[in-house]
Amino acid sequence: MEKLTLTRPDDWHLHLRDGAALKAVLPHTVHQFARAVIMPNLKPPVRSLGDAMAYRDRILAAIPPGKQFEPLMTLYLTDNTSPEDIIAAQASQVVKAVKYYPAGATTNSEFGVTDIRRCDRVFETMQQVDMPLLLHGEVTDVHVDVFDREKVFIDQQLIPLQQRFPNLRIVLEHITTSEAVQFVLATSNMAATITPQHLLFSRNSLFKGGIRPHYYCLPILKREQHRQAILQAATSGNPKFFLGTDSAPHGRNSKETSCGCAGCYSALHAMELYAEAFESVNALDKLEAFASFHGPDFYQLPRNTETITLTKTTWRIPDALPFTETELVPLRAGEEMTWKMV
């Protein structure tokens, strides 16, 4: 296949940051996607409807002139989120979901939830008003091996949560394991986003010839057998699985350091990366539904009507992009890609 025309896709998991960083990265997403679910892990996080409305205005102001883009806002769940916060958020139509980060799990998660059971009143309300819950599905217990944190989260926290709130619509974000695939398949009201890095790379990529900080994200890349399981899920045509890049920009200086931040930057070339992953298993015919249909269907939003086109063109990913006072190293910097968005 030389040319691929798809309904314009959406990104159901995106970090845009704020200020100068927002201005640097937003054009990449706007070029590829019509809408994106915007993660609330700013410093301080987006905790109230007021925070979300103000952040949304800053995003709208940063859209390049003449371009269309709709940010779908989320609230950051804390120990202090109240049922009233949920009701106000749902009534606004601006906030589309609530994001759960276990305290200490990842970038800017120090305001996160200390014990998921503390939020049961909030989950009860979310279930009632049908507000989706987005999960960073990892335990933070330092005694649990970093490669097992997703599986342990499912066993210890997600299964009981789902049993307490069987009608709560949940997205298990950025799944990385065959256990997550199995659990999502077996559970109603449960969907999952999948990133390009988890489709394309196993944990070997973290250590290829040396330590590779730009492949470090959370949840961490897993064994090859897990990569194959999520690639199978993404390309299966099952509507429970949809696109969420988790593109998470960090300046070069905070990645290439003695204690580097987690996050891969893929907004520049997200659709090209997904196309390559789908092509690797001869499943390009399944890309459109994964990228453009399953997400809006889950979120109960209309599908986009415009289209995008990718062509078979070889090009080189830049070594770095301008980013605030530093630079941003995109995923697979300096390497060749075989698909290019027109």
Residue with tokens 């695939």: 181
By the rule CB under 6 A, 81 interacts with ligand NCD? no
Q: Exactly one of 87, 88, 144, 262 binds ligand NCD (CB under 6 A); which one?
A: 262
Binding to Zn ion (CB under 5 A) within 246-275 occurs at 246
Residue 99 token pair: 């994001």
By the rule CB under 6 A, 248 interacts with ligand NCD? yes
How many helices (H) and strands (E) the chain has is answered by 13, 13
Closest separation between CB of residue 174 and Zn ion, Å? 6
For the annotated catalytic residues, the residue numbers are: 246
Q: Exactly one of 7, 29, 41, 235 binds ligand NCD (CB under 6 A); which one?
A: 41
**H or E segment to which residue 194 belongs:** strand 190-194
Q: Which is nearer to ligand NCD, 173 or 179 (CB)?
A: 173
Q: Which is nearer to Zn ion, 247 or 292 (CB)?
A: 247
Helix, strand or coil, per DSSP, at residue 16: coil
Dihedral pair phi/psi, residue 25, rounded to 5°: -95, -30
Q: Which is nearer to ligand NCD, 253 or 300 (CB)?
A: 253
Q: Is the dihedral of CA 10, 15, 19, 22 positive or negative?
A: negative
Q: Which is nearer to Zn ion, 16 or 126 (CB)?
A: 16
Q: Helices 270-280 and 19-32 meet at what angle, rounded to 10? A: 50
Total residues at interface with ligand NCD (CB under 6 A): 11
Binding to ligand NCD (CB under 6 A) within 199-238 occurs at 217-218
By the rule CB under 5 A, 11 interacts with Zn ion? no
By the rule CB under 6 A, 246 interacts with ligand NCD? yes
Q: Which residues of 126-138 are buried (b: 16+ CB within 10 A; e: fewer)?
A: bbeeebbbbbbbb
Q: Is the dihedral of CA 324, 327, 330, 334 positive or negative?
A: positive
By the rule CB under 5 A, 138 interacts with Zn ion? no
By the rule CB under 6 A, 244 interacts with ligand NCD? no
79 HSE (CA, 13 A, CB side): 8
Q: Exactly one of 8, 15, 56, 269 binds ligand NCD (CB under 6 A); which one?
A: 15
By the rule CB under 6 A, 136 interacts with ligand NCD? yes
Which residues are CB-contacts of 97 (< 8 A; sequence separation ≥ 6)?
Answer: 37, 72, 74, 75, 131, 132, 133, 134, 171, 299
Q: Which is nearer to ligand NCD, 149 or 240 (CB)?
A: 149
Residues that bind Zn ion (CB under 5 A): 246
Q: Which residues in this chain contact ligand NCD in the complex, by CB under 6 A?
A: 15, 41, 106-107, 136, 217-218, 246, 248, 262-263
